[in-house]
Amino acid sequence: MLIFKILIVFACIISVSAIIPAIIFGLIETATFVGESAYQIVRKSVGASGNQKYVRIQNTMGKNVVATVRCASGDDKIDEQHLKDGEAFAWKFTPNAWGSTLFYCDLETNNGKSARWDAYTDDKRGDKNWFLKRGDKNWFLRGDGIYLGNADGSDLKKEKDL
């Protein structure tokens, strides 16, 4: 009789241990789908996964301002983009193992503004805040400067004057 009770308890434990992860996983999947952030949507749209990073640049300089953007690294050249107001483009990549990945971009507008900035860097040399700069990048081109912020356009911080 004691063995029978032990087997029933053991069977219950196995069943519960199999059901609980299934329930939790299902809830996580549902929550992820329902509450997806702009960050997650952008990562999916460029196909970035795992250790891959993305850089996204959006023109928010105003009506009739076209931004021509050229970006490159030591190893890669991104196709030149001509962005009208509200348009954006993005690319994904895997940072190198040495922690020295750098993508820079050149901007020229049809209203005479231009700039060059580091769109992505994970170089640690001489930068005490290097770790904060290693994540995905969402750049917003505005009339007075180039801003870095969240994918949804919130928490913008001016990084470069125009």
With contact defined as beta carbons under 8 Å apart, do 65 and 90 qualify?
no
pLDDT score, position 25: 37
CA separation, residue 80 to residues 34, 69, 84, 108, 121 (Å): 35, 6, 13, 11, 20
> What is the extent of the structural domain holding 6?
1-35
Return d(Cα 48, Cα 44) in angstroms, integer.
6
Q: Report residue 136's pLDDT band, with 50, 70 and 90 as the boundaries.
A: confident
Burial class (CB in 10 A: 0-12, 13-18, 19+), 142: middle
pLDDT score, position 14: 45
pLDDT digits (tens, 9 = 90+) for 141-162: 999 999 999 989 999 999 999 9
Same domain membership, residue 127 and residue 111: yes
Q: How many domains does the chain have?
A: 2
Q: Report residue 60's pLDDT band, with 50, 70 and 90 as the boundaries.
A: very high
What radius of gyration do the chain's Cα atoms show?
23
Same domain membership, residue 155 and residue 78: yes
